[in-house]
Structure formats: C-alpha cells, structure tokens
Amino acid sequence: MKAAALFHNRSVYSFEVFPPKPDVPIERIFETLAALRDLSPDFISVTYGAGGSVPGASTAEICRTIQETHGIPSIAHLPCINETKESVLEKLKQFRALGVENILALRGDRNPAVPPQTDFAYATDLITFIRENSAADEFDIAAACYPEGHPEAPDLDTDILHLKEKVGAGASHLISQLFYSNRDFYRFREKIAAAGIFVPVEAGIMPVTSKKSIERMVSLCGASIPKRLAKLMARYANDPASLKAAGLEYAIEQITDLREHGVDGIHLYTMNNPDVARYITEAVSE
C-alpha cells in the first residue's frame, strides 16, 4: 500500500525502527516488530542498513517482513550521499523484488571519514532520479523536513525553498526531524503553507529516555531544547529512571497537543524499544 494514501482525511500514526547492529542477534528485530504490530501503526519506516548489518536484515528485507508477516505498510529509508546512480538502480531492483513500494528519500549525514559520492548532492536529485527510473506511481516517495531548518541551511526560509524543490520533484508527503517545541512546528507549518507546500507533514517525535542520547541527537540534527525540557534534564541528570519517566510524559504532552492542532500525523522514533512505544501509544490512545 502506498503510504500517501493513508493521509486522506485522517491523522496518521507511524513508527521508525532500525536494522540490528552486527553484534545484535537478528531475532531481536523480529521480536521488536512483533511487539510493535500489536500497537497497530499505520506504517513502519526502516532506517538504512548497508547491505544488512546482519545477514538477512537489510532495510528492504525488514520492510518485506513488516509487510508480509505483520500486514503493515513499510517505508525504506534511502540516503544518497554515498550512493552512485548504479547502486541506486540496484536498490530499486531489490525493492521491486521484495515488494517495497514506499521510499524515504534522504541525502544522509556527512561522514568526515567517508568521502561522499558525487552523483547525488541533495535528496531532490535522488527523488528526481527515482521518478525518472521507475514506472509512473511505482514508488511512493516521502522526504524529510526540518521544523527548525536543516543544520547546514543558512536560515529556515532558505531551507523551505529547498523543501519546495523536493516536493516539486515528486515527494508526496514529509516526515519531520525530531523537535521539542511544538511552537516551532506550528511556525514551520505556517511557513511552508505560505511557500505553497501543501503535502501532508508528519511530526517526528523522539522521546527523551536518556540525557546522553538526546544531547547527541540534537547536536547532529540541529534541534533545540526548550527551557522546560532543559530544566527536566538538569533536575534528573543523576536519576536516569526519573528522567525517562519525565521524558515519556513530555512526549505524550507533545503528541496530545499536536493532535489537538490538527497534525497530519505522528511519526514516533521508537529506538527499537517497543516498551517505550507501547507506553506512549496507550497513553495517547486514551
């Protein structure tokens, strides 16, 4: 099922998972997926695993399991910064073979230790290439957006101009980077509408479950930490259990408020933790 069709006259609720690391048994991801299935997400996206961190557990293979075993639509992440046109064509071939029809087209993070390839400078280039090398409507393509602006963009307005190019190239819906101030998201939503971007936008929510992991994530993606959340993190700096509890409640409040403001969807970054996903899902479903 094409993910874009899920947004018709309703708010979507979806999850993100990632392929297992080489030292993690492959069974772990299957257990995670089985636990998430019971929460009835509209779709599950799978981050990029180069050729399968564990044999049989590539992004595309996990997507197939989500669809065939659990009956849930899936979206395969495809970052292009280290891809060539030939390697992308191979991945599209694999997607076809495994029944994957939804792609999240990304540029991907820069790695100083790995020089980027030169075929795709931006996600827009990848979206255009997929559209040019696939049958009409063969793949549904989602793209990322940044409520506070991409960390490499000079300002939010410039970033939104680039976002409009992604949509113009063929992105049918957007999934936002994590954010912790709903006001930033609402401002972003107003700005993209003013710029003529009207595709659905899912709000990306990453619960705070540890101080170290969130500080690392916000440093990578450029998201800010509001004063209220910063105070919580400082208050429970030496009390991980209380910080996790407070972080989960913060995420629940974010989701509740977003839904009250008519958000197109919620994309929960599960961090492969079905217990966290269950706690939040049950709380926002009450």
Q: Could you list the active site residues? A: 16
Q: State how far the Cα of 116 lies from the Cα of 107, in Å rounded to an integer.
A: 10
Cα dihedral 94, 110, 277, 12, rounded to 10, equals -70
Of 203, 188, 190, nearest in space to 260 by CA? 203
Beta strands in 164-244 (DSSP E): 173-178, 201-205
Instruction: Tell me the residue length of the chain.
Output: 286
The DSSP result for 67-111, as a single string, is HHHH---EEEEEE-TT--HHHHHHHHHHHHHHT--EEEEE----B
